Chains A and B, each alone.
Chain A
């Protein structure tokens, strides 16, 4: 896996939600899809999407995605494919928290680190049970995830940004944990040499807070929902649009552009055309035909990558 030091987003990204059972419109549909999809047909969807214009893959660190990336690596596919991992995968953490409690979760987390990272974490004190430093813990966690990713990703793929999951971004924004947000951004940029990213479902609030604490928006990636019906746009569609329109310079990836499948692509496109400040679009698809159709249509309507 290579890294890209100069921030330039791919215009179209393939999202992994349909592959890992995430569907904000219907959990029932997600479960049906889960039984149908396995690593080999996901692999076919990913390669079809790339061939049709998806320049990058936006994904959570779900085991399924590592399997797919490993298959691409073996087949020597994924040359120049942009990688945009989102950390952490929160459902797994919530389930472990329910089963083992919050102390058990911390122990599990420590156990999942490589021996090298674990030794380092214990020495630096980031994760020891007696003394807790969230900044160090977050950095140690990010390093471990990226180490696993680099072992699995295609050798010619390019890491372009590492995004903090929306639940963590939004929680830290609410808590006004400016040092933790800043330390994450610095670490991704300085240690891993790529642009730090933040996923959020509270776009207006995140942008306001980022500006207040002096996070350099021109050097960050922000992933947020944008669609005609305002689905998952908070505090309102209008407020998010106003924030977007007034942004000086930023790197925005729009998600939920089809409102989780509630909108058909032709209905969604007009809205996206009206907001030229959106740099990139991510969309999930679960079949090869749909991948080809979707990315071809996006290119036709929103410009070649």
Chain B
């Protein structure tokens, strides 16, 4: 019999207790995990920093312990972080590996493990992709997301969390206006059996990497990926159907937007992540006369760092020499001291730019956005490679 969609939420001062209780309110882990099953847990571990950027180690640990309590044979934990960051950096160097192995989990460094090609029959744009073999072979799949805002998708919750299952090449495919549909296509292939959202310490503003801390002190659990995303985005002060992943997912039958909610009433207003690339920032001018959505998205992600911390650094963009950033096609001529051509479409318009120096970011779109940040920082005369280091030095 099909289970009714339910979202449970527990608010408290102890993150471990919140995680345990939210699953208990949902009916207990025994409803999802049976004796002798193998479980694959996919937490959001996008970078080698900690909460509120990634899921708190204690939330994952409690879920691992619960799975074993329910009689699981093996519990795997794995994620493929952002492009340019190795799983090892996130899982080993942060201490997560030791901490979770102590609870009995087997850590899977996805970028070092086997992937299996899959075909999503009903998919609209993302039909063929690879998924970790450990996930395919596991009996159950648990998706643990972090409650955060995101400059491209508004929020990043369980639907967006699926991105971390992919290999770098698959990650950049459809990373444009089709991004939300891509996650729906993935969910059409395999939906999580249990979803958990760590909303203890959340991120607001220019997420997913450079926002501000927002404390909700709660953890949510659900049997429906659309229901939990709907519920969380509502808590965050968004119109849930404004979130494309939720709307498309609901429309295409991934899950329900009508569900039973068990827990306290929480309504917050998260600082919104939306921003448009400005036309001018100090002496930097931005151009995109023929839109290139993919490059615009990656530039937005990278630029959010500078926007978010420009005040903290009190960095004077005015001190820069005249710089033009082109992130789409051009249909009229422009002049600048230095021109930064962002993406293949901008590079094709090079003959429309008169400049002394050219910097090119190849790709459609340029995929390695951490490298983009580093290059931008170099161009803007900021040493972002040792980002914090430079901030600390002076």
Q: Do A and B come from one complex?
A: no
Residues of B within 8 A of A (CB): none
